[in-house]
Amino acid sequence: MQPLYDALRDMLPPQTLEDYILKGIIQIAPLAFMRGRTLDNAFVILDEAQNTTHSQMKMFLTRMGKNAKFIITGDPGQVDLPRRTISGLKEALLVLKDVEGIGIIYLDDKDIVRHRLVKKIIDAYKSIENND
């Protein structure tokens, strides 16, 4: 969960972040801790969703309560699940693509905001992957 803390530290002053966490305004929890919850009046982000299973993704999506907004991020090209395990993100992209009220946004190499070399690195890997 360290990347989440790093991102929050980039966006909020340290004392503000600490106060928000102590007051429960910001909660960071592993996916497994979502079971049984209903998240009303919440803005929820599921990060690295490419590594969820079917059951985990369905469980997460069904936690949505009144006035909640859910954001799911992930890279379908970087799945770390065991072979033959279908990514919950990949499946959700297919299953939910025509559901009214759900928006899907795809990013590409033009959206990279990391070090300028990252785009070149991705392009280099794409070129050898396309030759396979």
pLDDT in tens, 69-84: 999 999 998 999 999 9
Q: So what's the pLDDT on residue 42?
A: 95
Q: So what's the pLDDT on residue 1?
A: 80
Percent of the chain scoring above 90 in pLDDT: 73
User: CA gyration radius for the chain?
Assistant: 17
Tokens of 91: 């499946």
Whether residue 132 is predicted with pLDDT greater than 70 in this model: the reply is no
Distance, in Å, from the CA atom of 128 to the CA atom of 132, rounded to the nearest integer, reads 7
Q: So what's the pLDDT on residue 26?
A: 94
Nearest to 90 by CA among 111, 75, 103: 75
Q: What is the pTM of this model?
A: 0.81
Whether residue 28 is predicted with pLDDT greater than 70 in this model: the reply is yes
Whether residue 9 is predicted with pLDDT greater than 80 in this model: the reply is yes
Tokens of 11: 């966006």
Q: So what's the pLDDT on residue 111?
A: 87
